[in-house]
Amino acid sequence: MVTPRCQEHPRYPDPRKCAGCSAAANAAARKATEVQQAAGKEASTAARERAEVRRAAIDGCYACDNDGYLNGRVCHHNETARLAAAKGAAAARAALNQALGGNA
Ligand SMILES: [Zn+2]
Ligand SMILES: [Zn+2]
């Protein structure tokens, strides 16, 4: 990493640490902290979103228990997907039947 320094000392930082160089160093340190905090916040947000998605999957799955387990094993909620697919197919069939019946 390049040592932050002011415009008056672009090549070498002032050995006496001029105000500009100090300010640049402080700003860089602050920026680094901000970036770090933002990254931490992002990570926790992602973790929370993952947890919410998992919770929704568990809530929507009739096969597993409240913790997402089915007979002591982690449930992949495939039953939910199958049910939704079956429901979707049934709904599509019903709509088709209705459309055909309505026109006939
Ligand atoms: Zn300087
Ligand atoms: Zn499940």
Taking only the tens place, the pLDDT of each residue in 39-97 is 999 999 999 999 999 999 999 888 899 999 988 999 988 765 666 677 778 888 998 88
Give yes or no for a contact between 1 and 13, defined as CB atoms under 8 angstroms apart.
Answer: no
14 C-alpha to ligand 1 centroid (Å): 5
Query: How many CA atoms, within 13 angstroms, populate the side-chain half-sphere of residue 9?
Result: 19
Please state the φ and ψ torsions of residue 74, each to the nearest 5 degrees.
-65, 130
Q: Which residues surround ligand 2, an ion (CB under 5 A)?
A: 61, 63-64, 75, 77
Pair 1, 47 in one domain: yes
DSSP one-letter string for 14-37:
-TT--HHHHHHHHHHHHHHHHHHH
Please state the φ and ψ torsions of residue 70, each to the nearest 5 degrees.
-125, 115
pTM to 2 decimal places: 0.44
90 C-alpha to ligand 2 centroid (Å): 22
Per-residue pLDDT tens digits for 1-51: 567 888 888 887 777 778 998 999 999 999 999 999 999 999 999 999 999
Q: Which domain holds residue 1?
A: 1-60
Q: Does the residue 34 lie in any domain? A: yes
Nearest ligand atom owner, CA of 71: 2
Pair 4, 53 in one domain: yes
Please state the φ and ψ torsions of residue 76, each to the nearest 5 degrees.
-95, 5
